[in-house]
């Protein structure tokens, strides 16, 4: 295992539920360190570009509408095996199928409003981190 970085987003449903702190606490108590963070209200262009990989999918329009429905909290997480660890903490995309104790099982309502995003591989993590954070705003090791 190696130290990795991954991009995490707390989606508008979870921000509206006032559970940013509870979700950060899951990261921190599982060895993931927040090394960059910001709150943002994405534009349709930004949300569409971020989820560009899904643009041919039937749910793309709803996904973008949901992601711009309120502010989101965006963070870079760093730690051992951070990409897989974050995905494990998140649980399955559909909260009804997510393991008990995962973020989506505990805080999400539906496959659309599913509380969190997490990068799925090293390549996507690099691209997603660069999309939101210039390198000078990632405070590793300080």
CA–CA separation, 98 vs 92, rounded Å?
4
Residue nearest Mg ion, CB atom distance: 120
Known active-site residue 54: no
Which ranges of the chain does DSSP label H, i.e. alpha helix? 12-16, 20-29, 44-50, 60-67, 82-90, 103-107, 122-132
The tally of CA atoms less than 13 A away on the side-chain side of residue 35 is 23
Using rule CB under 6 A, residue 26 touches ligand ADP: no
Using rule CB under 6 A, residue 8 touches ligand ADP: no
Which of these segments, 37-45, 70-78, 108-116, 133-141, binds ligand ADP (CB under 6 A)? 108-116
Residues that bind Mg ion (CB under 5 A): 120
Residues that bind ligand ADP (CB under 6 A): 54, 59, 63, 93, 111-112, 114, 117, 120
């Amino acid at each position: 295992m190696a130290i990795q970085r991954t991009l995490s987003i707390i989606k508008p449903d979870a921000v509206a539920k006032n559970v940013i702190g509870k979700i950060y606490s899951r990261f921190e108590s599982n060895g993931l360190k927040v090394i960059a963070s910001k709150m943002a209200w994405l534009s349709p262009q930004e949300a569409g570009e971020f989820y560009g990989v899904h643009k041919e999918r039937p749910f793309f329009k709803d996904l973008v509408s949901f992601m711009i429905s309120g502010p989101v909290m965006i963070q870079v997480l760093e730690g051992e095996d951070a990409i897989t660890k974050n995905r494990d903490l998140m649980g399955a995309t559909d909260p009804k199928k997510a393991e008990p104790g995962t973020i989506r099982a505990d805080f999400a309502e539906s496959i659309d409003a599913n509380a969190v995003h997490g990068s799925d591989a090293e390549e996507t993590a690099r691209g997603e981190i660069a999309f939101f954070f210039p390198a000078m705003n990632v405070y590793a090791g300080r």
